[in-house]
Amino acid sequence: MKEQHSVMWGIDDTAKQLGPISQLRVGPFGHVVVIADLNETEALLTRRHSSLERDSSSISIFRTIIPGALLTLKTNEVWKHHRRIIGPAMTSKYLTLTMPKAYDSVGQLIELWKAKGDICGDRSWSAGSDLEGATMDAICGMAFGHPWGVIRQYTHLVRAMDRQRLPVGPLGAIDFKLVAPDLAESTWRIFTSIPLRGPFPRISHFVTRLSASYRRQARLVDQFLDRKLIEARQKAKLLGADSANETADNTLDMMVARELRGEDWMTDEEMKQELFQYLLAGTETSSTTLSWWCKFMTNHPEVQRKLRAHLYERLPDVQNGTPSFEELNAANTPYLEAVVHETLRLARTAGGVSREVKHDMFILGKLVPKGTQLVLPTSIGCEDLSSPVSAPLHTDDEKSRGYKNPQASFWAGPTDAENFPRKVGFWKAGTGLQFDPERWMDQDGKFDIHAGPSMPFSLGQRGCFGKNLAMLELRVFVSQLNVAFFFAPIPESQNIFDRVETVTSHPIYSYIRPVPWSTVEAQGDT
C-alpha cells in the first residue's frame, strides 16, 4: 500500500529498538525520554497530569511569535483565565453560528478547483497552498467575521491564465504560482519564521525580526488586529452588552461582548495574541490534515464512493452545502466520522505530544528526574495486535513488575493498567498502517470512538484546545469536497507519501486530480 510510509521521527525508531520507555539524545545539549505505551500515555496525560507541564522547549519556540497565548503559557492562573475567556468559542452554540463561514470557504475552494480543472485537463496540481488558503479564509471568518479573500484571489488569477502556457513542475504536474492577499502572505511569513531548528530559538528569531520585510509584515498584521478590536468594540456598544453576546458569530465579537458585560477581560495585547494563535492553529493543522485526506482519497476510490452515498443518504441538504451542526455528528453520519478519524490517525499531523516532568517521578518502573522532557509519540495509533510500536521489555525483573496484556504478544511494562483497564480495543493484526475507515464502525453500523488506539488531539488538561473547531472544520470540508469531486488517480511518480516536519507533519507532495462525479473514472466503469 502506498500509505505504508516511512517512519516519521527518530522517536519512532527509538521506541521500536529500545522499548516502551527509552532515552533519545537531542542535539549536543540534551535528551528526551520517549514513552511509547498506550496505557501509560493515557495515565500520564489524564490521571498524572498534575506532575507534568508543557515542555520548556516548545514554549520557547512559540513564544517568539505568541508569548502571551494559551499555547505558550504554563498551567497557572493566567492560563486558566485565558481559557475561560476564549473557551466559549469552542462550544456548540458558537460553532453553530460560525459554520456559514466554513461553508463559504469550502464553496470558494470548490470553484477554484473547478477553474483549475478546466484549464489543466487530465493533469494534476498540488493541493497544499489551496487548502492553506481555504482553511485560513474559514478561520478568519470564524475569528473576525470576514475572510481575507485568499481563495477568491486565487480563482481570479487562475481564470486569467493562458491555458496554453501553464507552467509544469519537475514531476509533470501543473505548477500554479499564485499570490495571496497581503495580510495572508504576511501571516504565513510570521508562521514560517518560527525557529523549529537550533538550540537558541529566541536568538534565531531575534535575527529574523531585524529584517525590514519581517517588520513590515508583522506591523501589517498588528495594525489589522488593532483595527478589528476597535470595530468590534464599537459594534458591541451600539448593540448593548446582552444583545452583542447573543448575536456574536465570531470569536472576536464573543470576547468583546464578554468584556463589555464585565464577565472577564484581557489586555488588548493578550486578545490579539489569542486571536493570532487561533488563526495559526486552525489554519496549519486543518490544512495539513486535509492534504493527507486528499492523498488517501486518491488511493481509495471505494472509500470515496461509499462516503458520497452515505452523505446523500444521511444529509438531504448536502448538495446545497447547508447541513447543520447537529446533522454533521457521529450519530447521524457515522461513516463520515470514521473517514475523518481514520485520516487523523494515519496523517499524524502532530508526530507526538511533549511534556516536562515537574518533579522526580516513576514512569514504567524508571525514575525520571525533574525537568526531563517526555515525548509521547502518536505512533500508538498505528499499533495493532501483530505490530507493537515499541520493543518488549527484556529483563526478568522488568517482566515481573510489568503486566502482560492477554490480547497482545508483548510486554507493555509496569503501569496502573490493572486499576484502570484499557479503554480502547486493538486494531486487527497487520492493519495498523492501512487506511480503512471500516475499523471505526461497529457491527450495527455505528461509529465507535473506542474501537482502537488513536491520539490526534492529545488528552487531558493540556489536550488540544481547538479540537471541536478542528473536527467541525474537517467534517465540513471533507463532506463538501467529497460531494463535489472524485479524486482520480495520478501518476505513480507523483503519488508519494514522504513527509517533512515543520510545525506539523506535511506531505512533501500533495498532488490531486479532482474530476466531476459524472466522469467515467468517477463512476468506476473503467
Would you state the cell numbers that stand for residue 14, as one nine-digit string? 527509538
Place of cell 503519488: 495
Q: Reduced to 3 DSSP states, what percent helix, strand and coil does the chain have, rounded to the nearest 5?
A: 50, 10, 40
3 state SS for 102-137: HHHHHHHHHHHHHHHHHHHCCCCEECHHHHHHHHHH
Q: What angle do CA 89, 378, 96 make, to 5 degrees?
A: 20
The CA–CA distances, whole Å, from 44 to 48, 238, 374, 423, 449 equal: 5, 48, 10, 15, 20
120: annotated binding-site residue? Answer: no
- 20 three-class SS: coil
Residues 6+ apart with CB under 8 A from 304: 297, 482, 486, 487
- CA angle, 478 as apex, 308 and 168 as ends, to 5°? 105
C-alpha 349/C-alpha 506 separation (Å) is 7
In this structure, are residues 260 and 244 in contact, taking their beta carbons and an 8 Å threshold?
Answer: yes
d(CA 21, CA 40): 10
Cite the annotated binding site by residue number. 464
Binding-site positions for heme: 464
